[in-house]
């Protein structure tokens, strides 16, 4: 065993040194790799959203993830509310993307909306790193500028443990892990299939047709599982500790400077459809969040997490709404937002 361990160490050292020499060249990475985002951000942000906002001039812009994107009918919402709305839900997004959308797009619209509605669940608002790595990076990059110092600090550097920081800088095998995994995954998926002349397209179509919308992407699915756990991780339940390291203060500052009011809506989900089922830790976190938002100027909070109008049968999984759920939730949301355009307001 002793002999085996020394051989292991020698071989491991050789492998790591070889990888450290080859990978930076292969992937054009600097060495040591500076701490920060997994890749460089593209210099410009995606233009189409700003164009649509410029054209629509909505009074309400809604921010959220796929729950909002797939769960709210923008046209029906505008009609029932009697005001122009814009659904800016981005599937697979978190507070980092919502911060970028507010900072780089919404406030740059020639006519700024009066209200920005943020549809969230559980602890998303105070986990800045939520959905920022792996395949989520691409979506985030769409709305980032070349230099995003707060984003890099909060989403990428702060959450790293000391060991991770060292590995990220000095171990190219670790810093290039997403690319290596993606390469390995696609090799396995496509190369093997090419043996019986099934092309890349053929494999994608085959998986799509077998699994419907849910693409069988190992990395994406693993992240989805990870996300579910992250929201309820004990370290993310401490509101007081996490609030200053989140995008919330910056979002509120940006909104206030641009005369935009923020409306935070906590959405129902099937993990804790009833308040009694929530853990004491989650309840305490949400109490602190509500108290914090109540002290902020131009900020409103609506809790729909246990709203009886949103039936359990409206959900197709833990968080997403069915077609009926979409119709009903759009109406409920419109009724909630009516308060803000009522003359008494």
Q: Which residues bind another protein (CB under 8 A)?
A: 1-5, 7-8, 11-12, 15-16, 19, 133-134, 161, 163-164, 167, 171, 173-174, 177-178, 180-181, 184, 188-189, 192-193, 196, 198, 202-203, 205-207, 209-211, 214, 216-219, 221-223, 225-226, 229, 234-235, 273-277, 279
* Residue 239, token pair as written in the block: 């509101």
Residue 19: name the closest of 33, 6, 7 by CA.
Answer: 33
Find how far residue 186's CA is from the centre of its chain.
Answer: 24
In angstroms, give the least distance from the CB of 222 to another protein. 3
In angstroms, give the least distance from the CB of 56 to another protein. 37
Of the pair 218, 294, the CB lying nearest another protein is at: 218
Residue 269: name the closest of 226, 312, 301 by CA.
Answer: 312
Query: Contact 29/176 with Cβ under 8 angstroms?
Result: yes
Cis before residue 110, ω within 30 degrees of 0? no
Of the pair 145, 306, the CB lying nearest another protein is at: 306
Query: Contact 86/92 with Cβ under 8 angstroms?
Result: no
In angstroms, give the least distance from the CB of 333 to another protein. 23
What CA–CA distance (Å, rounded) separates 161 from 189? 33
In angstroms, give the least distance from the CB of 137 to another protein. 12
In angstroms, give the least distance from the CB of 83 to another protein. 34
Q: In the Cβ-directed half-sphere of 74, how many Cα atoms lie within 13 Å?
A: 17
In angstroms, give the least distance from the CB of 5 to another protein. 6
Of the pair 232, 340, the CB lying nearest another protein is at: 232
Of the pair 60, 272, the CB lying nearest another protein is at: 272
Of the pair 149, 210, the CB lying nearest another protein is at: 210
Of the pair 80, 121, the CB lying nearest another protein is at: 121
Find how far residue 210's CA is from the centre of its chain.
Answer: 27
* Residue 75, token pair as written in the block: 């046209």
């Amino acid at each position: 065993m002793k002999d085996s361990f020394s051989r292991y160490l020698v071989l491991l050292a050789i492998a790591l040194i070889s990888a450290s020499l080859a990978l930076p060249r292969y992937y054009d990475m600097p060495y040591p790799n500076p701490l920060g985002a997994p890749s460089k951000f593209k210099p410009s942000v995606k233009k189409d959203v700003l164009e649509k906002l410029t054209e629509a001039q909505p009074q309400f812009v809604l921010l959220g993830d796929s729950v909002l994107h797939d769960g709210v009918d923008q046209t029906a919402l505008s009609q029932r509310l009697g005001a122009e709305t814009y659904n800016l839900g981005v599937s697979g997004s978190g507070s980092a993307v919502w911060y970028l959308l507010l900072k780089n797009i919404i406030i740059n619209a020639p006519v700024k909306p009066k209200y920005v509605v943020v549809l969230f669940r559980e602890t998303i608002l105070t986990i800045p790193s939520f959905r920022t790595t792996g395949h989520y990076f691409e979506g985030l990059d769409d709305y980032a500028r070349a230099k995003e110092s707060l984003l890099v600090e909060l989403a990428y550097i702060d959450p790293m443990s000391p060991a991770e920081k060292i590995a990220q800088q000095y171990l190219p095998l670790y810093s290039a892990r997403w690319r290596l995994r993606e390469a390995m995954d696609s090799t396995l998926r496509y190369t093997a299939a090419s043996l019986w002349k099934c092309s890349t397209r053929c494999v994608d179509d085959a998986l799509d047709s077998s699994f419907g919308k849910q693409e069988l992407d190992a990395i994406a699915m693993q992240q989805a599982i990870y996300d579910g756990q992250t929201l309820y991780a004990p370290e993310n339940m401490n509101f007081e500790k996490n609030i200053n390291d989140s995008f919330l203060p910056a979002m509120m500052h940006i909104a206030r400077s641009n005369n935009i009011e923020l409306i935070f809506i906590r959405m129902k989900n099937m993990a804790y459809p009833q308040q009694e089922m929530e853990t004491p830790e989650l309840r305490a976190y949400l109490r602190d969040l509500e108290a914090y938002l109540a002290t902020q100027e131009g900020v409103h909070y609506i809790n729909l997490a246990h709203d009886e109008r949103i039936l359990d049968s409206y959900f197709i999984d833990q968080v997403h709404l069915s077609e009926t759920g979409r119709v009903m939730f759009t109406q409920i949301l419109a009724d909630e937002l009516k308060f803000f355009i009522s003359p008494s307001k």
